[in-house]
Chain A
Amino acid sequence: MHMRLAADTTPRKPAFWTMARRDAASGYAFIAPQLVGISIFVLLPLGLVFYYSLHEWNVLANTFTFVGDANYQMLLRDPNLPQVLWASAVFSAGLVVLNMSLALLLAVLLDQKLKGMVIFRTLFFSPVVVSLVAWTIVWSFLLQANGGINGMLAMIGVEGPNWLRTPSTAMISVIVVQVFKNVGLNMILFLAALQGVPKELYEAARVDGAGRFKQFRRITLPMISPTILLTSIITIVGSLQVFAQIAILTKGGPGVSTTVLVYYLYQQAFQFNFFGYGSTLSILLFAIVAVLTFIQWQMRKRIVFYEN
Chain B
Amino acid sequence: MKTDLSPRAKVALYGLMCVLLIPFVFPTWWMVTSSVKPISDIFAFPPDLWPRRFDWSTYQQVFELQPFARQYWNSAYIAAIVTIGTMLVSSMAGYAFARIRFPFSNTIFMIVLMGLLIPSEVTIVPLFQLFLSWDMINTHWPLILVPIFGAPSVFATFVMRQFFIALPVELEEAARVDGLGRFKIFWTIALPLAKPALGAVAIFTFLHSWNLYLEPIVFLSSTQMFTLPQALTQFTDAYGGAMWNIQLAAATMTAIPVLLVFIVAQKQFVEGLAHTGLKG
Contact = CB atoms under 8 A, between A and B. Distances in A.
Interface of A: 20, 22-24, 26-31, 33-38, 40-46, 48-49, 52, 106, 109, 111-114, 120, 123-124, 126-135, 137-142, 146, 148, 151-152, 154-155, 176, 180, 184, 188-189, 192-194, 196-197, 199, 202-203, 223-227, 230, 237, 240-241, 243-244, 247-248, 262, 265-266, 269-270, 275, 278-279, 282-283, 285-286, 289-290, 293, 306, 308
Contact of B280 (A28, A109, A227, A243): A227
B280 to A, nearest CB: 4
Shortest beta-carbon contacts, A-B, top 9: A37-B149, A27-B102, A41-B150, A134-B251, A193-B280, A30-B96, A45-B123, A48-B126, A244-B213
Given A131-B211, A133-B213, A30 B149 contact: no
A236 to B, nearest CB: 11
Interface in B101-159: 101-103, 105, 108, 111-112, 114-115, 117-119, 121-130, 145-146, 148-151, 153-154, 157
Given A146-B43, A243-B214, A306-B280, A131 B151 contact: no
23 contacts: A20-B101, A31-B97, A34-B154, A35-B93, A42-B115, A42-B118, A43-B111, A46-B123, A113-B3, A123-B24, A131-B228, A138-B31, A192-B279, A262-B121, A262-B214, A266-B214, A269-B128, A275-B129, A279-B126, A282-B124, A289-B122, A290-B117, A293-B117
Per DSSP, are chain A's interface residues mostly helix, strand or loop, or mixed?
Answer: helix
A283 to B, nearest CB: 8
Given A41-B150, A148-B47, A126 B28 contact: yes
A120 to B, nearest CB: 5
Interface of B: 1-3, 5, 10, 13-14, 16-17, 20-21, 23-25, 27-28, 30-31, 42-43, 45-47, 89-90, 92-93, 95-97, 100-103, 105, 108, 111-112, 114-115, 117-119, 121-130, 145-146, 148-151, 153-154, 157, 181-183, 186, 207, 210-211, 213-214, 217-218, 228-229, 232-233, 242, 244, 247-248, 251-252, 254-255, 258-259, 262, 270, 273-274, 277-280
A24 B108 CA distance: 13
A41 B144 CA distance: 12
A269 B125 contact: yes
B127 A151 contact: no
B213 A34 contact: no
Contacts of B97: 31
A10 to B, nearest CB: 23
A164 to B, nearest CB: 13
B119 A240 contact: yes
Given A132-B211, A192-B279, A243-B213, A49 B252 contact: no
